[in-house]
Amino acid sequence: MASNEDELQQLMRAGLDGDAAAHRQLLERLSRHLRAFYGTRLSRIGRSASEAEDLVQEALMAIHTRRHTYDPAEPLTPWVYAIARYKLIDHLRRTRGSLADVPIEAAGEITAREDHADAESGIDLHRLLARLPAKMRNAIQCVKLDGLSVAEAATRCGMSESAIKVSVHRGLRALSAAMAREKAS
Amino acid sequence: MKTSELIDMLSVNVEVVDRGKVWRGMATAVGAGTVLAVGAVLLTLGGRADLKDAEAYFSLAIKLVFTLGVVILALIFLTRLARPGGERREPLGLVAMPFIGVAGLALLSLLSTPRAHWAVMIVGDQWLECLLSIPVIAIVPFALVVWAVRRAAPTHLARAGALAGLVAGSVSATAYALHCVDDSVPFVALWYGGTIALCTVAGAALGPRLLRW
């Protein structure tokens, strides 16, 4: 458990410094923990596995777009758990579920178990992307989906490099918000 | 969408993250809020005209120590509480210290004065102006602080909102002190303390609505 925290924290720090491999590994490991966490929480109140996967993806998106709020002097697990819990409460509120008891002190629960299934959520990324403003959509398409470098994306979209970076960042945040809103409708 | 596809997307071209973002956002919001609040007070109400004698300076200094003390304490707590999970360990009782301190001083000052003067000391000349001005001037700083707090992704919205209200209220009271000529400590304790507390309650009520992310 302690080594789990240490390893995750190292991956997070490396990711914050721009290490893509470490960031991927962090997200993969966290996704397993999140899947186990949401799976148990939601099956207890009779919700489906695909709904749990929606939440896994929402939480991953929130973790990615809010990385700057992690204070490297603090342990990572409580930070992740706080986001996971916030998204769960938000989800239950939006889907009119009863507000389950999710105490803030139970941070250990988030890394207690793992679930390796590569499950599918009900979220349609391309449909959400299509609703973003063109600039954000194009920037995300180039940099995040086609894997172009920021410089290449800037040439293809006819935007400056800093505009590309800003558009990717804002676009991901908008996607993150759209994922949560989608369920309410 | 498969979760592995999402992870693929998020781990392509990973940006270096600026770690001072939360602090800087908060400092910018409070700095800009203070400048705007002071500007609003000086332009609409005007500064104190009596700042010639040492006594007036001393009274102003007491007010500023109180209001700025609250600003700084509240800001320290808010910066921690505004992040995910920040509510886990913050001993929020500490932000009440300046209020307790000023209330204590107010009591001492009342006890050392004849009862006949108490009403004047407590009510002052401009209690109504104080009561209205501080919350109104706090609106713009509050909006700026809310903007900064949202970017830090708080997970306890009522508490983060309360602290945002406290910061905005005390910034506003700091600015209002530059105009106000009611100098008795009981006046400051009651009307400054009271209106700042009011801003805090308003912030707690608005937090869950304004701070969702």
Any idea where the domains of chain A sit in the sequence? Answer: 2-111, 125-184
Contact between A119 and B3 using a beta-carbon 8 Å cutoff? yes
Contact between B153 and A62 using a beta-carbon 8 Å cutoff? yes
Smallest CA–CA separation between A63 and chain B, in Å?
A: 10
Contact between B3 and A85 using a beta-carbon 8 Å cutoff? no
- CATH architecture, range A2-111: Orthogonal Bundle (1.10)
Interface test with A, best of B2, B14, B76 (most A CBs within 10 A): B14
**Which positions in chain A touch B86 (Cβ < 8 Å)?**
82
**Which positions in chain A touch B87 (Cβ < 8 Å)?**
82, 104
pLDDT digits (tens, 9 = 90+) for A2-58: 568 999 999 999 999 999 999 999 999 999 999 999 999 888 887 888 888 999 999
Contact between B14 and A15 using a beta-carbon 8 Å cutoff? yes
Q: Is residue B7 part of a domain?
A: no
Please measure the distance between the N-terminal and C-terminal CA atoms of chain B and give it in whole angstroms.
22
Mean residue pLDDT of chain B comes to: 92
Instruction: Please state the domain count of chain B.
Output: 1
Helices and strands of chain B, counted as H and E runs: 9, 0
pLDDT digits (tens, 9 = 90+) for A68-95: 999 988 899 999 999 999 999 988 888 8
Per-residue pLDDT, A1: 45
Q: Which CATH number fits domain A125-184: 1.10.260.40, 1.10.10.10, 2.40.160.20, 3.30.70.20?
A: 1.10.10.10
Beta bridge partners of A120: B2
Q: Is residue B165 part of a domain?
A: yes
User: Residue A114: exposed, middle, or buried by beta-carbon count in 10 A (0-12, 13-18, 19+)?
Assistant: middle
Q: Is residue B194 part of a domain?
A: yes
Q: Is residue B200 part of a domain?
A: yes
**Contact present, B90 and B81 (Cβ < 8 Å):** yes
Q: Is residue B99 part of a domain?
A: yes
Per-residue pLDDT, A101: 64
**Contact present, B134 and B196 (Cβ < 8 Å):** yes
**Model ipTM?**
0.86
**Which positions in chain B touch A165 (Cβ < 8 Å)?**
15
Q: Is residue B11 part of a domain?
A: no
| 3-state helix/strand/coil string of A80-106 | HHHHHHHHHHHHHHHCCCCCCCCCCCC
Average pLDDT over residues A107-113: 77
Interface A:B, Cβ pairs < 8 A: 125
Q: Is residue B93 part of a domain?
A: yes
Highest mean pLDDT among A112-116, B78-82, B113-117: B78-82
Residue B29's domain comprises 21-210
